[in-house]
A = this chain, B = another copy of it.
Amino acid sequence: MAIRRESVEKLLKSQITKWKTSITRIEPNKISTRGYPIEDLIGTLSFPEMIYLLLTGSLPSPKESKMLEAILISLSDHGVTPPSTQVTRLMASTGSTINNCVSGGILSFGKHHAGALENCMKLLQREVKEYKGTVDSHKDIKKIADVLMEKFVNNNHKIPGFGHRYHDEDPRAPRLIEIASEYGFCGIHTQLALAIQDIICEVKGIRMNVDGANAGILSDMGFDWRIGTGIFMIGRLPGLISHAYEEKTRESPFRKLIEIDEIYYDGVEK
């Protein structure tokens, strides 16, 4: 196979630009992440500091690190009730490898499940951005919330981050808000989320859930909403792994979830 001379440079250039990164540089016997040699990070940083460094490119302040730590813990497990955890366990029961089980769980994050954190971040950030420059008091925030609520109510849409199918009062939300207040992350986005709660709680008795609280706080910490599901996954992974492991080590394999007579067939007979 003859190689035309003129394609050499084109190829080399395209090749190089295809694999470009600013995250971690690899050289023989050297690994440096965001500019720091890995051996200086191991044993020095906390895991949330490393996560923050990887995601944003710079080290967090102690308060940012503590806040992220609290957020990740708040997301880490919700027992066997989420479909993603049920999927993980069903797969573990078939003898699938633990990485397959975890992928199954992660892939179960759909329109109706586990997207609330990112969607609520998107919503809060968009609304705040639209009003930028004009928001300077609690009164303004209430106004944004009013307008927003009206849009949702008129379109009969659910607001992501509010309400929970197992809890009227999600115990994680007030605890997160409390910590955010302490560390100084109850900024405009969190206040907007709280203002939405005031309205929606009065009208429908619905409160902010873990995702609504985290959406406000993460936005006030400066996180782009596009990384919301990423942070959710980092928090939830230990839970999913624990469930896969529990299923594999405590339950008998290939369990029958349903018996034939529990299935209702409503198709045609021929």
Q: Chain A interface (Cβ within 8 Å of chain B)?
A: 1, 3, 7-8, 11-12, 14-39, 41-43, 45-48, 50-51, 54-55, 57, 66, 69-70, 72-74, 76-81, 83-84, 86-87, 90-91, 93-100, 102-104, 106-114, 165-172, 174-176, 178-179, 224, 226-227, 229-230, 233-234, 237-239, 241-246, 248-251, 253-270
Contacts and interface: CB of A to CB of B under 8 A. Distances in A.
A31 B78 contact: yes
A95 B78 contact: no
B28 A166 contact: yes
9 contacts: A1-B16, A11-B262, A21-B79, A23-B242, A42-B70, A47-B47, A51-B76, A87-B104, A99-B107
Contacts of A74: 38, 42
A87 B54 CA distance: 19
Given A97-B229, A111-B253, A42 B175 contact: yes
Given A15-B15, A47-B73, A237-B233, A110 B87 contact: no
Given A20-B265, A37-B171, A95-B113, 9 more contacts: A16-B263, A22-B268, A24-B79, A25-B265, A29-B167, A42-B74, A47-B69, A84-B94, A237-B237
Contact of A241 (B42, B57, B172, B230): B230
